[in-house]
Copies of this chain bind each other. A is one copy, B any other.
Amino acid sequence: MARPREFDTDQAIDRAMNLFWRRGYAATSLQDLTAELGIGSGSLYAAFGSKEKLYARALERYCSRDAGALIAALESATDVRSALRTALHAMAEADLREPERGCFLVNAATERSADSATVDRVGGTLRLVEGTIAGALERAQARGDLSAGKDPAELARFLTTFIQGMRVVGKARVDRAFLESAVSGALSVLD
């Protein structure tokens, strides 16, 4: 019935996500985008509408993929403590390997705090992570793996906040010892 699209939309969003993730919104130009996606600007606009909308799609992708992975790991975990430890260490390693990346959520929250769509998406995802951690801690408590005196809701908020901090200091090129100390300090609240 009509000419089919030559590029894969999902793959294009992935590539845009990687670009926005590394460079941020303002520092990523349309030229950068069309070069990376391998399409002309006309195609880009026909498919996504605007730079802002493409950014929103990229952020959405990140939330469902990366935050989704954390959530899935916590929900399937039998040992919350070690699941958290594993996740935090993985983040530390990622930051040491590619410090210019960091966490797209954090980058989005800080660079685009004037854009309510971005802020809402970030806030929602943080809430989701908070809820997942809280749920996991409640299950641990019910099982006796977490002292009855602890407050899962409070710990979840604290841990969610700490995670964001990790991604910030990771961008400041601190060394492995710093990040690992920070992680053990944070996890000590569970004891």
Count residues on chain A whose CB falls below 8 Å from chain B CBs: 49
**Are A185 and B155 also in contact (CB < 8 A) when A24-B26, A160-B169 are?**
yes
Whether A163 is near chain B, meaning CB under 8 Å from some CB there, is yes
Q: Is the CB of A157 within 8 A of B172?
A: no
CA–CA, A15 and B114, complex, Å: 19
Q: Is the CB of A158 within 8 A of B186?
A: yes
Q: Is the CB of A185 within 8 A of B123?
A: no
Q: Give this chain's copy count.
A: 2
Whether A109 is near chain B, meaning CB under 8 Å from some CB there, is yes
Whether A184 is near chain B, meaning CB under 8 Å from some CB there, is yes
Q: Is the CB of A111 within 8 A of B189?
A: no
New contact pairs (5) apart from A24-B26, A26-B27, A27-B111, CB-CB < 8 Å: A107-B110, A109-B169, A110-B171, A153-B181, A188-B189
Contact residues of A with B, CB < 8 Å?
23-24, 26-27, 99-100, 102, 106-107, 109-111, 113-114, 119, 122-123, 126-127, 130, 153-155, 157-169, 171-174, 178-179, 181-182, 184-186, 188-189
